[in-house]
Amino acid sequence: MHTAFFLLLAASLARFLIRHPGEPRTPWIIALSVSLALLYVLGPSLGTRPTPHRLAWLTLVVAAWGVLVMLAPSFAWCAVPLFYTGLRTLPPRAALLLVAVLTTFVVAAQLELAGHFDPNLLFAPPAWAAVASAVFLYMQRQAARQRDLIDDLIRTRRELAATERREGTLAERQRLSMEIHDTLAQGLSSQQMLLQAADRVWDADPAKARTHVRTAESITERGLAEARRFVHDLAPADLADGGGVTQALRALAERESDAGLTVRFHAEGAPVPLPDRVGSALLRIAQGALANVREHAEATTAALTLTLLDDQVVLDVADDGRGFTPSAARSTGVRGHGLPAIRARAGQLGGRLTIESAPGEGTVLSVSIPLEPPLETS
């Protein structure tokens, strides 16, 4: 529009100089044209908001143009860019009033140039001004709606990000609760049982009592290592040595074996590297399952079996304890936090937990975790 204004102004001046050379008003026309051009240049620096300076500038521009039109009607077509300048600067009603005034000047100028009455000159400029104004105002409303929509989208995105952060925080808290339950809490529980056992036989069998104390000390050492590992990166301490989940489960079985419970470990299948999350989950599940065996099963032997298949890994924890009814335990919740934590940990990796048990017949806990996402079938 700025370019169009200067082109129309130059064309109008050239037309006047060609058709009216040497007239007394020519110097005034040239001076007013140059002044209007210089005045128009100041407009962009004043912005588009209806500030006092902007309104004063628009008034001067329209006044200078009006004088030019009265002196030389050919300058009337410079009104086209001024339409949009007024529509961008003024409120809608004031802008439409300005457009009507400018259109009146255009019609009067064209009729004067024609020298006779012409219906096209009387109705065409108002029609064109009405269409231009309607299109401009419609585009303004659409732009305002788009800005509102963008603001809503940005606000919604921020709210969604905040919700995801809250959900991530809750999920991390749940994961940490399971980690603490399967490591520090279970270790403290084992220490308590060993120290209580040592206290009961301290006078009758000092050697056995000292064995219990040494075992509790070993568990304390492992718990301290787990706590330090929590601070470092929350990974299982047994996996930090780089021996893999097989070596970690074997070390866990050796560590959990004592005079009251013998834990054996067996691995089947070709060794394959497992993702860190899978290895960590299997070790935590084994720790939680053995803690349940020690606290609830009254078993003398337990077996850890790791089976590595092409598409999944399976961990079985079996004991010869007193067993229980899985359906009744699930409905009453008597098994505490251990089994729900194991089921949740397996579910986070797309795995599932299966429990086979009956009163007096021991328990077999089986966790299977897929190593690859299942292929879609049609």
Q: pLDDT tens track of the chain, all 378 residues? A: 888 888 988 988 888 888 887 788 888 888 988 988 888 888 777 777 778 888 888 888 888 888 888 888 888 887 878 888 888 888 888 888 888 888 887 888 777 777 777 777 777 778 878 888 888 888 888 988 999 999 999 989 888 888 887 887 787 778 777 777 777 777 888 888 888 888 888 888 888 888 888 888 888 888 887 777 665 555 566 665 666 889 889 988 998 888 788 999 999 988 888 888 888 889 989 988 998 898 888 899 999 999 998 889 999 999 999 988 887 666 544 444 578 888 888 998 899 999 999 898 999 999 999 987 544 443
Q: Which two tokens stand for residue 113?
A: 């140039």
| Confidence (pLDDT) at 316 | 95
- Cβ neighbours of residue 142 under 8 Å, at least 6 residues apart? none
Give burial (CB, 10 Å; 0-12/13-18/19+) of 328: exposed
CA–CA gap between residue 323 and residue 364 (Å, rounded): 9
- 211 sits in the region (left: phi over 0; alpha: psi -120 to 50; else beta) called alpha
- Cβ neighbours of residue 188 under 8 Å, at least 6 residues apart? 223
Give burial (CB, 10 Å; 0-12/13-18/19+) of 88: middle
| Confidence (pLDDT) at 239 | 67
* The residue count for the chain: 378
CA–CA gap between residue 147 and residue 33 (Å, rounded): 39
| Confidence (pLDDT) at 329 | 61
Q: Which two tokens stand for residue 329?
A: 């335990």
Strands 301-308 and 262-268: parallel
CA–CA gap between residue 159 and residue 149 (Å, rounded): 15
- Cβ neighbours of residue 86 under 8 Å, at least 6 residues apart? 58, 62, 95, 98, 99, 102
Q: Global pTM?
A: 0.43
CA–CA gap between residue 375 and residue 319 (Å, rounded): 35
